[in-house]
Every structure is written in C-alpha cells, then in structure tokens.
A and B are shown apart, each in its own frame.
Chain A
Amino acid sequence: MPIPAPPTNVRVVTFQIDGRDYSAREDETIIEVARENGIPIPSLCYLEGLSTWGACRLCLVELAGSPRLVAACATQVAEGLQIYTDTPRLQRYRRTILELLFAERNHVCSVCVSNGHCELQALAQRYGLDHVRVPYRHVAYEVDASHEMFRVDHNRCILCTRCVRVCDEVEGAHTWDVMGRGSDCRVITDMNRPWGASDTCTSCGKCVQVCPTGALVKQGTSVGEMTKDLHFLPYITRRRHNR
C-alpha cells in the first residue's frame, strides 16, 4: 500500500503522554509523536516510511478511562487523550509477547549472525527476559540459501512483514508475500518459489536491511557480523513525498 500524501488543513490537538503535555497534528499516530519526542515505545513491525501493520502488539499503550489497550502504531492522537506508555501492565504484556516470540521459533542468539545487532534481542534485554515461561516449540523451519547474495532463515522470522511491505511499497517489486496460517505462517518469495529462482527480486537488499532479526541476512556473514542499516528508508520516502 503506497504511503498517502499528508492532507492539508489538519487540526492540531493537545494531549498527554505519561503525564506530560504534547501537541501534534491529529493525523499523526501515537508512536510517531512518541518517537519525535524521544519517548521509547517498543515495536518490531512498525517502521517509519512503511505502512502500518499492527502485527507485533509490542507498541500497545494504555489510554486513561479505557480498559482496552491500543496499538500506538495504529491509533491516532486525539484531543485530551491521556496516554501511558510504560506501565507495569504494559511491561508485563510486552515481556510475555517477547517470550512467545522466542518460544515459537528457534531464536538462538549466541550462534546467530545478527547476534548483538538484533531488535528482538535488544528488546528482550530491555525487558529483562532472562528466561521463557512457556515451553519452546522446537520446530525446525527451513533455511533458504538459494539466493546468491542473501539468505532467509525462517527459524528467526517473527512475521513482522517489514520485508513484504518494503519490497512492495518502496522497491515496487512485491517479491515477498505471506503464506499459511498459525504456526505454519511464513514469508515466501514469488508464489513460494526458492528465493534464488525469483523473477521479481531485484536483489536490492532492502528486505534484509529492514528485517529486525537474523531471518534475512547477507550471505558470507559469520556470527555477530550481520549489521543492518535503516537510514535509507526515511531518506527515500521523504524524497519521494517531496516530489
């Protein structure tokens, strides 16, 4: 989905985040305002420059007067909102979400090429995830190393779909898609063909750079050597909107 151009004549609203007053355009989301103001709301699927997906649920925040938690990436600010971003309840939920992500597939940080440069690992450290309370599934997922330059390891994938979105919305190739349901759900290339056999992939590597974990990596990297650079994304999207 292409990013819509910002509409003109939008109102400015005032609201509170964690007890402090802020004002912003009413079409901005909570996570956008929070990031602009240095308020750390965690997220693994949200990425500035890509459309909103709302899959990881790590950016859930509390609103005063509402029992329901809302995703900061998918909720726009509104006049008078009182938003809480780091309550004990949210910390508990976020830790649990992270535990479920670690238990679902095989995220073995110590032998991962993204060790030390992984958004999932960094969040686990931030939320003190020193053990996982649910049983690990220990299901073996395949590794597709057929591409000359890149590799996808489904064991490390958290289904954030950043790869799907950046390929479609920024590169315009739409090589990536999502197939299957539940625990069988996985990202695929070109109607489930091996990545190396893809006709649409331009080998631009954007999907690798936006992947928050060691699921999409460069070939030839050893443990801990895969670093990712996201700076290209806001740069490209800004330039595109300015045209």
Chain B
Amino acid sequence: MSRTITIEPVTRIEGHARITLQLDDAGKVSDARFHLTQFRGFEKFCEGRPYREMPALTARTCGICPVSHLLASNKACDDLLSVGIPATAERLRRVMNLAQLVQSHALSFFHLSSPDLLLGWDSDPASRNIFGVMQGHPQLARDGIRLRQIGQQIIEMLGGKKIHPTWVVPGGVNEPLTAEKRDAMLALLPEGLEIAKESYAFFKTLVPKFHQEARHFGDLQTLFLSLITPEGDLEHYDGLIRITDAHGHILEDMVPPSEYQRLIGEAVEDFSYMKFPYYKPLGYPRGIYRVGPLARLNNAESCGTPYADVALAEFRTLQESGPISSSFHYHYARLVEIIFALEMMKRLLKDPQILDHRVRARARSNQNEGIGVAEAPRGTLIHHYRIDDEGLLTWMNLIIATGHNNLAMNASIRQVAEAYVDGANVQEGMLNRVEAVIRCYDPCLSCASHAFGQMPLQVDVADPTGRILATVRRG
C-alpha cells in the first residue's frame, strides 16, 4: 500500500515550505515534491507605482538579502535612465553586495546548516540548532555570529542601516564614502578573513566524513548558470551570463543579461507558488539548471583573489573531473565565496578612488524597459521592468535566485528520499536529511514566492491513492 509523508514546516530555511514524499506499494519513494505555499504578488502590486520606488519596494521581498534586490532593482532603473553610473558608485555597490554575501552565507552555513554538520542528522531535534552548536562548539558558533555581524556592519556603514538601506539609488548611490567609514570597514576585514579561513580549514576536515551525503544530497547532472566577468572569472555584481553543462562544456557564454529571456523560460506547476525556470533550448523540464555558489564556482575560471583561488583549486578536487555535481558542496562553495568576498572588499576599499565624490548620475527615464541582473548570495537575480512615458510601472518580472534552483531542489529531495527514507519505518532523522538537502541550496522562499502569509514546513507520506499515511510537522 502506498502512502505520502509530509514534512511541514521545513526548518532552518528562509521562508516556509512543505515537502511531500509519495511512497509506492513497497514503501519506496516514488515521487517527491517541494511545495511553496505562500503567495505574495509583488509583480502585480508594483504596477502603477513610480519606478524610483522599485528598489525599496522590491527589497521588501526579503529581510535576509534585501541588498540583492536593491542592487538588481537599481540596475534595472539605471537601464531605464540609460546612464552609465560613476565608477566609484559601482565599486561602492560592489562592496555592499559582497558584505551581503558574507552575512548571508554566514547565516546559511553557521546558523542554519552547521547544526546538521556538527551535531549529526539524527541528533535530538530539540538541540539541533544554533544553540546546540553553541554548547558543543562555542568558538565556531561565536565565529559564525561574528562573521555575519561583520557583513551586516559593513552594510550599515555604507547604507545607514543593516536591513533595507536606501543608499543605493538609480544612477549610483546617494552619498559618497568618507575616509572614516572606509577605515572602519577595513579594520573589520582582517578578523573576518581570519574567521573565514579557520572555518574553511575546519570544514575541509569534515568533508570526507560526508561522503555518503555528497553522493545522495542532490548529486545531479544539471546545467549551471551564473554571471562571470568578461575574463571568465567569479562575478557577483555585473558581468555576463555563462551556462555550462554537467560535463563542464560551455553552452552559452558572454551573453548580456538583457538577453535572459532567450535563455530562460518559466514554467508553473499547480503544487507550488514558486516558478520553475528552465533553460529554453532544452525545454521543460529537461532544461534543469542550478545557480548560486556551486554554479558560480563551477562556471568561473578563477576567483581573482589569492586565498580564494587556493580554496577554489581545492574545491575542484572534491570530484575527480568535471564540475562539482553534488549540491551538498554548496556549503563548501559558500565558504570559498566568503573568503573571496572579504579579500575583494579589502581590494576595493584600498583603492583611493573609492572616496571619490562623484557617485551619482542624474537623469530621468529615457527608455521604457529596463533589466537588472546581479548575483544574490543564492544565485542570479533578475529584475525586469516596463514603464510608461511618465515613469509608472506597467509590467514587472522577477526571477529570484531560489526559483532557478526549483527543479534541482525537487530532484534533490527525491534523490535523498530514495536513499534514506524507509516507508516502513519513518524516522525523524531520515526526514531531517530531506530537509537538509533543501538547506544546501539555502533557499529564500519568501523571495521566491512573491507571497504573503504563513507557510510552515511539513512532510506528507501518501499512498498511491493519495491517502496521507504519515505527516511530520514542525513549527
């Protein structure tokens, strides 16, 4: 007799989700689905509003990665203005984006995923959290919190507040950087880099222990999409789109982000409010691809900073050949990117031009369509606006980083459930592994859903007739 297991809510992720596992008559997993049950509607309710409100409005999709929306939105607005922003403004925006990368990756690795990695998938759920980590590994927990704080403090120094700063504006930023703030930021970086290196070195020693998880936590043959520099290096703020296949062959390269619609199609499924983007030439759902730290490192030739490049070389050895295919290694990639971000921030802030007072280009809207693309911590973020001649929004499309990974997340929970979930004897630890594979992607569901309301996570186990046999609910 088949049945369905429901995991609800999925914990230690940003936003709310539900997972359902469909079991066959033999009690084996026959299907797995990741449901996003929120609906937010940003793409609709922004219509009619002035485009200059979009950076602040769309940043409200998220409290974790508002800087990403702020940047992608302002880039779309820059496009509407048809201006090139001052070089210093671009550098300042880059610093803020990298600071956000540090704080968001630190949150994902230390606060959300380290409980699984350090305390074990089957440990007591009551203490399998950041507080449990504090008890067992106090220094690591302290380091994680401090690293996140450093990222947040840099955002605050630049933008005036940690969450939802409004300092980035269409045309640049609204205030130049002072030498005092620059020095204060530079003073934070050595400590951050030290923590990042130590955490990376520690995690490297753990990776061999997770050989099994690496095999089953979303070890998929998918494409990888990310931005890269014109030289093919790691890029987070600007750049061009590269798509590689599971063997590392480049399918699309140096594609201007404004042509994203040629590459990316968007499908919808009735079981989730999250869109299912796919690579158009391969069709749906064959055009499955992944974005985010794993994709960025797989696509980049190099990072361009000394220690991160060493770490990248070590990252590539996780697999004998080809791009790293297991989503479990998103964690590893995140730590490499934290190192890169701290090194790159130092480089940008050491440049004397960072204090230049010309930081804003002023113009009114000069065209009716604008596209802004940036790399959010979780992957490529696309904002696409159309406005009327008076500057009021007539149409909007957002493709959120987490959304790109939707097909891959569904494939990953199926893979991990097939490996670990025994329908005859459902244990909490099994279901935690199903949740943990989702955490590898660090999904931000409140962003991806354009939704409002509550969506706790639940796993349902159903029989072939759809009858719910077991439900595990959290939250």
Contact A145 B52 (CB under 8 A): no
A190 in the interface, Cβ–Cβ < 8 Å? no
Whether the pair B164, A145 counts as a contact (CB closer than 8 A) is: no
> By the criterion CB–CB under 8 Å, are B364 and A143 in contact?
no
Distance in angstroms between the alpha carbons of A110 and B50 in the assembled complex: 15
> Interface size class for chain A?
20 to 34
- Min distance, Cβ B162 to any Cβ of chain A, angstroms: 14
B391 at the interface (CB under 8 A from A): yes
Within 8 Å CB of B174, what residues of A? 222, 225
How far apart are the CA atoms of A196 and B60 in the complex, in Å?
A: 31
A143 to B51, CA, bound (A): 12
What is the CB-to-nearest-CB distance from A214 to chain B, in angstroms, rounded to a whole number? 10
Q: Is the CB of A110 within 8 A of B56?
A: yes
Residue of B nearest to A214 (CB): B53
Q: Which of A111, A113, A146 contacts B390 (CB 8 A)?
A: A146
- Evaluate contact between A113 and B52: CB separation under 8 angstroms: yes
The answer, among A111, A140, A142, for a CB contact under 8 Å with B53, is A111
Assess whether B170 is in contact with A222, with CB atoms less than 8 Å apart: yes
Q: A145-B391, A223-B166 are in contact. Are A151 and B50 (CB under 8 A)?
A: yes
- Classify the interface of chain A: helix, strand, loop or mixed: loop
Q: A187-243: which residues lie under 8 A (CB-CB) from chain B?
A: 196, 219-225
Measured CA separation A221–B391 after assembly (Å): 12
The residue in chain B whose Cβ has the minimal distance to the Cβ of A145 is: B390
Provide the B33-64 mask, 1 if CB < 8 A to any CB of A, else 0.
Answer: 00000000000000011101101110010000
How far is B460's CA from A154's CA once the two chains are assembled, in angstroms?
47
A220 contacts B362, C-beta separation under 8 Å = yes
Q: Does B392 contact A (CB under 8 A)?
A: yes
Q: In the complex the two chains form, is B57's CB within 8 Å of A111's CB?
A: yes
Does B169 have its Cβ within 8 Å of any Cβ on chain A? yes
How far is B57's CA from A113's CA once the two chains are assembled, in angstroms? 11
Residues from chain A with a CB closer than 8 A to the CB of B169 are 222, 225
- Which of B48, B55, B164 contacts A222 (CB under 8 A)? B55
What's the nearest-Cβ distance from chain A to residue B453, in Å? 15
A219:B164 contact, CB within 8 angstroms: no
Contacts of A143 in B (CB 8 A): 48-50, 392
Closest chain B residue to A222, Cβ basis: B169
Q: Looking at the assembled complex, report how far the CB atom of B299 sits from the nearest CB atom of chain A, in whole angstroms.
A: 33
Smallest beta-carbon distance B175→chain A, Å = 11
A138 CB to closest chain B CB (Å) equals 10
Main secondary structure of the interface of B (DSSP, over half): loop
Assess the A145–B60 pair: CB atoms within 8 A: no
Q: Which residue of B lies closest to A221 (CB)?
A: B52
Q: Which residues of A contact B55 (CB under 8 A)?
A: 222-223
Cβ distance B424 to chain A, nearest Cβ, rounded Å: 50
Q: In this complex, what residue of A is CB-closest to B58?
A: A111
Q: Shortest distance in angstroms between B73's beta carbon and chain A's nearest beta carbon? A: 11
Tally of A-B residue pairs with Cβ under 8 A?
Answer: 46
* Residues of chain B with a CB closer than 8 A to A110's CB: 56, 60, 164
Chain B interface, number of residues (Cβ within 8 angstroms): 19
Give A140 to B52 CA distance when docked, in angstroms.
18
Which B residue's beta carbon lies closest to that of A224?
B166
Alpha-carbon distance between A64 and B354 when the two chains are bound, in angstroms: 63
Interface residues of B in 58-74 (CB under 8 A from A): 60
Find out whether the CB atom of B52 lies under 8 angstroms from the CB atom of A222. yes
How far apart are the CA atoms of A112 and B391 in the complex, in Å? 16
Q: Which residue of B lies closest to A108 (CB)?
A: B57
Which residues of B sit under 8 angstroms from A142, Cβ to Cβ?
A: 48
* A140, A153, A221, A222: most-surrounded residue (chain B CB, <10 A): A222
**Known contacts A110-B164, A143-B48, A143-B49; is A223 also within 8 Å of B390 by CB?**
no
Across-interface contacts of A112 in B (CB, < 8 A): 53
Q: Are B50 and A145 in contact (CB under 8 A)?
A: yes
- Interchain nearest-CB distance for B176 vs A (Å): 15
A207 to B414, CA, bound (A): 61
Contact pick for B166, options A140, A146, A196, A222, CB 8 Å: A222
Residues of A within 8 A of B57 (CB): 111
Closest CB-CB distance, B188 to chain A, in whole Å?
A: 26
| Chain B 157-174 interface 0/1 with A at a Cβ cutoff of 8 Å (1 = within) | 000000010100110001
On whether A223 and B56 interact (CB within 8 A), knowing A110-B164, A145-B392, the answer reads yes
A window 135-177: CB within 8 A of B: 140, 142-143, 145-146, 151, 153
- Among A110, A111, A115, A224, max chain B CB count under 10 A is at A111
Q: What are the residues of chain B within 8 A of A219 when measuring CB–CB?
A: 364, 391
Task: Tell me the nearest residue of chain A to B48, going by C-beta.
Answer: A143
B39 CB to closest chain A CB (Å) equals 16
Q: A63-93 interface mask toward B, CB cutoff 8 Å, 1 = contact, 0 = none? A: 0000000000000000000000000000000
CB B261 to nearest CB in A, in angstroms, measures 27
B 220-251 binary contact with A (CB < 8 Å = 1; else 0): 00000000000000000000000000000000
CB distance from B422 to the nearest CB of A (A): 48
Contacts of B60 in A (CB 8 A): 110-111
Enumerate 10 A-B pairs (CB-CB under 8 Å) in ascending A order.
A110-B164, A112-B53, A115-B166, A143-B49, A146-B390, A153-B50, A221-B52, A222-B52, A222-B166, A222-B170
Question: Which residues of A are interface residues toward B (Cβ below 8 A)?
Answer: 110-113, 115, 140, 142-143, 145-146, 151, 153, 196, 219-225
Given contacts A145-B392, A222-B55, A222-B56, 4 further A-B contacts (CB under 8 A): A145-B391, A196-B390, A220-B52, A223-B53
Closest CB pairs A-B (n = 8):
A145-B390, A223-B56, A222-B169, A111-B56, A223-B166, A111-B57, A224-B166, A222-B52
